[in-house]
Amino acid sequence: MKYAREPIAFNDEDLEGMTQPYDDALVVMARINGFTVKRVLVDQGSGAEVMYPDLFKGLGLKNEDLSKYDTPLVGFDGRMVVHEGQISLLVNMEGKEVMVTFIVVSSFSPYTTILGRPWIHAMGVVPSTLHVKVKFHTEHGIAMVRGRGVHGSG
């Protein structure tokens, strides 16, 4: 018999406290390499995890910590993005931790990092931009992380 976990769902209660219509990006906090990081964009449209220079430097990382990354990276505007390399770091959300390989790019962003589909799938995250939340299974049940608008306190 296959073990069935409680389904992850969103309902109207998840909208409480939200001002609709709401169309900001899904921006959360996460612990990356042991540090609490704000302005983390959860992006279902991104096939890669991206880290920007402010966070890279803020984590005390150096270019020598990077490994080579040869695949071309295309930005939101369709142009090639200059990248410095890649680095694998632990990302922890609500006690659930996965190893994430970030591509470090040298461009400006209002976000510190982007967590894309590889992280979403590794964590089993169900994101909802409507509810501005992510939910996922942990050993203690379903965890929920409330997002913040990029212009908010997150």
Strands annotated E in 59-140: 83-93, 96-105, 113-115, 126-128, 133-138
pTM of the model: 0.88
Residues of the chain with pLDDT under 70: 1-3, 19-22, 149-154
Spatial CA neighbour of 150 closest among 112, 99, 100, 97: 112
12-146 maps to CATH 2.40.70.10: yes
Can you tell me the distance from the alpha carbon of 27 to that of 3, in angstroms, rounded to the nearest whole number? 32
- Which pLDDT does position 60 carry in this prediction? 96
Strands in 126-128's sheet, in edge-to-edge order, are 126-128, 133-138, 141-146
Confidence (pLDDT) at 152: 43
3-state helix vs strand vs coil in the chain, percent to 5: 15, 40, 50
Task: Characterize the bridge pairing of strands 27-32 and 96-105.
Answer: unpaired
3-state class (DSSP) for residue 54 = helix
List of residues 6+ apart from 107 with CB closer than 8 A: 52, 75, 81, 82
Distance CA 28, CA 145 (A): 7
Enumerate the domain spans of the chain. Answer: 12-146
Distance in angstroms (rounded) separating the CA atoms of residues 16 and 14:
6
pLDDT recorded at residue 3:
64
Give the span between the Cα atoms of 1 and 131, in whole angstroms. 34
